[in-house]
Amino acid sequence: MTCPKCQHEKPKRFGTYGKAKTQRYRCRDCGATFTEPTQKPLGRHYTSVDAASKAVALLCEGMSIRAVSRLTGLHKNTLLRLLLTIGAKCERLLDQRIVGLKSRNVQADELWTTVGKRLRKDGRKRVLTNPTHGDQYVWFALDSDTKLIISQYVGKRNTPSAEAFIDDLSQRVPERLQLTTDGFDSYADAVSTFMPFADYAQLVKLYQKGRGSGPDWYGPANYVRNIPTPLRGDPDLKKISTSFVERLNLTARMHCRRLTRLTNAYSKSLRHLKAAIALLVAWYNFVRVHQTLRVTPAMQAGLTDHVWSINELLATQI
């Protein structure tokens, strides 16, 4: 034990403090009092890592905040604050670990959700006083070979969001790759600006009006066919597909309650949605064993050599 003030190496015990009876020390030389330095993976939170780990496991298996609160005994406000802290930590982890990849085939897509209030589907306008409320989209980029989620972004479905998403993707995969997206117009300009080295193609899907007896917006449209459309470089026509990333959309909806349709579990604030998505991506990449690969996507991509536990995810020093 060393005094942090004068670096004296032989302090003496000086009582305890707090409910946990933390040992306190006093320097024999300068008289400073201090405690043994400890790592706090959850920062200022008093919740134990084990309790937080249990809560994270339940959240990542598709349970809502209130359901997790009932099962763990943690107050819902505590869970929401923990989510922000853990989500920020997961974002730093993803920024640190998922860089310099050598992916060859990447698929990208957007997943609809809502924040605060849903927009009306009957044509009438709903006044939104908060610009972050209403429709939001979760953008995913998936390595179709390793099933690693390379990049995620939360924002509107517009040109600035597409540019921010593709810019982030280009920094994580700086080498030539084949990129496939849906037919959203803003992708083409964003790829030309931020990923001119990519072999880029769109998979344009055609639908027709559904035959349901209810309102048109409620039931899905009938799929007709898709049109592979190379736009840049020399993409392999056989690999122009968005099947894997669309399957990822289903996985995200099943494992994150905020993304479940036709419920009132949607996010009430944009920052909590971003934190929940960061946690979901980190858990998917490092903790969840992929059923087909039989390892985690991070192991398949060579980013780690073992399956992480949730405790390890929370305790990782970044």
Share of residues in the chain with pLDDT > 70 (%): 94
Mean pLDDT of 62-91: 96
Residue 120 has pLDDT above 90, yes or no: no
Residue 240 has pLDDT above 60, yes or no: yes
Q: Which of 141, 136, 204, 203 is nearest to 170 (CA)?
A: 141
Residue 121 has pLDDT above 70, yes or no: no
H helices of 185-269, in order, are 186-194, 243-255
Q: How many CB atoms lie within 10 A of CB 161?
A: 19
Q: Answer with the residue of higher pLDDT: 90 or 22.
A: 90
* 162-214 confidence digits (pLDDT tens): 999 999 999 999 999 999 999 999 999 999 999 999 999 999 988 887 666 65
What pLDDT score was predicted for residue 2?
85
The b/e string for 53-67 (b: 16+ C-beta within 10 A; e otherwise) is bbbbbbbbebbbbee
Residue 215 has pLDDT above 60, yes or no: no
What pLDDT score was predicted for residue 10?
85
Record the tokens describing residue 108, joined without a space: 């990208």
Query: The whole model's pTM is what?
Result: 0.86
What pLDDT score was predicted for residue 34?
84
Taking the CA atoms of residue 205, residue 210, residue 214 and residue 218 in that order, the dihedral angle to the nearest 10 degrees is: -10
Looking up tokens 């390890």 gives 312
Record the tokens describing residue 14, joined without a space: 């000086």
Residue 286 has pLDDT above 90, yes or no: yes
H helices of the chain, in order, are 49-59, 65-72, 76-97, 159-172, 186-194, 243-255, 270-286, 297-300, 310-315
Residue 141 has pLDDT above 90, yes or no: yes
Task: Measure the CA–CA gap between 121 and 143, rounded to whole angstroms.
Answer: 34
